[in-house]
Amino acid sequence: MATAFEHPYVPRELHLPGYVPCFLSQKDILVPYLGTSLVGVALLWLFSGRLSKISKTDRLLMCWWAFTGLTHIILEGYFAFSPGFYKEKTPHFLAEVWKEYSKGDSRYAARDAGVVTVEGITAVIEGPASLLAVYAIASRKPYSYILQFAICLGQLYGCLVYFITALLEGDNFSTSLYYYWAYYIGANSSWVIIPTLIAIRSWNKINAAFKVEKKTKPL
């Protein structure tokens, strides 16, 4: 078993007693993760097509919320509540994911308090809320747009805290530029771009609903 300082992360003096190197290669981690995600999204897309009066946009949103909800609960939930993931002596897939991702942001291996807090809140609150959004869209619930808007704000706030704290601490947590752009920037960009677009759409839908109510309300 590897001892302290025999990890690949930055800074090199990062103390990780009992660290065990990755058992799985990057390919062995990414292919199952992406494959499972694509299959799940495809199945939900096909299922949502059976629902009446559901637009293609709403079907896409259902797929997004299901994907992001399960990611928050399973992947981020495991990280938040598994402080010794880097010590796993067997190839536990979720532990392998975070050991690999830590090459792009060593704050995960170091159990940075800010990162753990953001991920914990995301897993416990935003994860279930995202799955609720899938149900709300499918059932055409009146709170659907308000719920989506609220989740998006939470995701965007979490991303801001995530990136700003890294900048304030020197933004030097990646083992190479490849991992910086592929993991730290690339893997997180979806949770900046997509929530922004959904928030704008939800805001417009809510505004439109209030305008209609105002016009129909008797004087």
Per-residue confidence in pLDDT tens, the chain, 219 aa = 444 448 999 998 898 999 999 999 999 999 999 999 999 999 999 999 888 789 999 999 999 999 999 999 999 999 999 999 999 888 899 999 999 999 999 999 999 999 999 999 999 999 999 999 999 999 999 999 999 999 999 999 999 999 999 999 999 999 999 999 999 999 999 999 999 999 999 999 999 988 877 777 665
Global pTM reads 0.92
**Torsion angle defined by CA atoms of residues 180, 181, 187 and 190, in that order, rounded to the nearest 10 degrees:** 140
Show the tokens assigned to 147: 């719920």
Q: What angle do CA 133, 135, 137 make, to 5 degrees?
A: 70
Distance CA 143, CA 155 (A): 18
